[in-house]
Amino acid sequence: MPRPELIIYLHNSTDKLLDNIKKRGRIYEQEIKADYLNRIHKNYMSFFKQQRKLRVLLVDADQLDFVANEADFDLLFALLNDAYSNGITAINP
């Protein structure tokens, strides 16, 4: 498989993820536990740290709403045009 030019990881806190799950109201998501979400995040971060030849943009998305706020979407879109070094670059808008 070809190597991606850039991986964008939109990170939300576990509390926000659980709140979003509750708001969506999808029955099959309602039993998802905080521990499970924390393990997923931990595993993603472990994978990203091992991929030293990949460029990973870690965006703290807790305060962003890409659906309801066009400025937040524009901010994310603008980040695509920046140059990033290999490894993880953290952005906290």
Pair 72, 64: CB distance under 8 Å: yes
User: Rounded to whole angstroms, how far apart are CA atoms 22 and 30?
Assistant: 7
* Domain boundaries, given as residue ranges, for the chain: 7-91
pLDDT digit string, tens, across residues 13-66? 999 999 999 998 999 999 999 999 999 999 999 999 999 999 999 999 999 988
Helix (H, G, I), strand (E, B) or coil at 82: coil
pLDDT digit string, tens, across residues 80-89? 889 999 999 9
Predicted model pTM: 0.86
Distance, C-alpha 54 to centroid of its chain: 16
Burial class of residue 32 in the structure, from the number of CB atoms within 10 Å of its CB (0-12 exposed, 13-18 middle, 19+ buried) = middle
The DSSP call for residue 27 is G
